[in-house]
């Protein structure tokens, strides 16, 4: 990806209107031709989606820009694999999931597990209620204990609210595999919640995802 196409955006940007997303054959042809204007249209349309997914999966804002760059570098390098405009969004989603999985495994290799120091936790807006901030931090500590593949399925399904078929496509597995990963993730996540004072009280209130 060219230097002038670097993504510089605020994290967790809202998705663009559906009719603003570049799904025309003309744009896809431009991407295949490595046209900078077509690449910029793709960035403008999908950078917000990629940022939001990465943040919700990883809960870490510090490396967000680099990871978004990685996603689009991979998208542009493999854009010839996309033959139909309707396949653009699923393709970008699957690349985002792959990059997120790599980031999770890298963290584990560096032994960044479970309980982070306060300066290593996701940044949360100062305006958010202190109790909510505490809950978000506890939530991501719990996520850190999950198997990477199960964490991805859990986040895409529960946090992102994606349909099972979309989660399966993003993770390049069957719907049956996603269901099994979700079941294991839920069991592990609930057990982790029971051991955390903040999450245990939330769990007791019945705010479940079933």
Q: How do residues 93-142 score in pLDDT, each as one tens digit?
A: 999 999 998 888 776 544 333 333 444 444 444 445 677 777 788 888 88
Q: Locate 1 and state its tokens.
A: 């990806």
pLDDT surpassing 90 at residue 82: yes
How high is the pLDDT of residue 107?
67
Q: Work out the burial of residue 130: count CB atoms within 10 Å of its CB; fewer than 13 is exposed, 13-18 middle, 19 or more buried.
A: exposed
pLDDT digits (tens, 9 = 90+) for 12-71: 444 444 444 555 788 899 999 999 999 999 999 999 999 999 998 988 788 899 999 999
Tokens representing 67 are: 């990871």
11 pLDDT band, cuts 50/70/90, is very low
Q: Please tell me the predicted confidence (pLDDT) of residue 198.
A: 75
Residue 154's contacts (CB-CB under 8 Å, 6 or more residues apart) are 143, 146, 181, 182, 185, 186, 189
> How far is the C-alpha of 96 from the C-alpha of 90, rounded, in Å?
10
Name the pTM for this structure.
0.62
Question: Does pLDDT of 5 surpass 60?
Answer: no
Q: Calculate helix-pair angle for 88-109, 164-171, nearest 10 degrees.
A: 70
The predicted pLDDT at position 136 comes to 80
């Amino acid at each position: 990806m060219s230097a002038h196409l670097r993504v510089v955006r605020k994290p967790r940007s809202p998705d663009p209107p559906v009719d603003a997303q570049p799904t025309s054959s003309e744009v896809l042809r431009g991407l295949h031709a490595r046209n900078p204007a077509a690449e910029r249209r793709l960035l403008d349309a999908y950078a917000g989606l990629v940022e939001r997914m990465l943040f919700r999966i990883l809960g870490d804002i510090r490396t967000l820009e680099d990871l978004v760059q990685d996603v689009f570098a991979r998208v542009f390098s493999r854009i010839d694999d996309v033959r139909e405009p309707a396949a653009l969004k699923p393709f970008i989603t699957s690349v985002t999931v792959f990059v997120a999985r790599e980031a999770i495994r890298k963290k584990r290799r560096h032994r960044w597990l479970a309980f982070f120091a306060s300066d290593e936790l996701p940044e949360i807006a100062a305006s958010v209620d202190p109790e909510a901030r505490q809950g978000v931090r506890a939530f991501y500590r719990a996520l850190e204990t999950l198997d990477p593949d199960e964490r991805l399925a859990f986040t895409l399904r529960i946090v992102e609210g994606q349909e099972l078929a979309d989660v399966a496509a993003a993770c390049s597995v069957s719907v049956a595999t996603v269901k099994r990963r979700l079941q294991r993730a839920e069991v592990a996540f609930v057990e982790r919640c029971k051991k955390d004072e903040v999450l245990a009280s939330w769990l007791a209130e019945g705010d479940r995802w079933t």
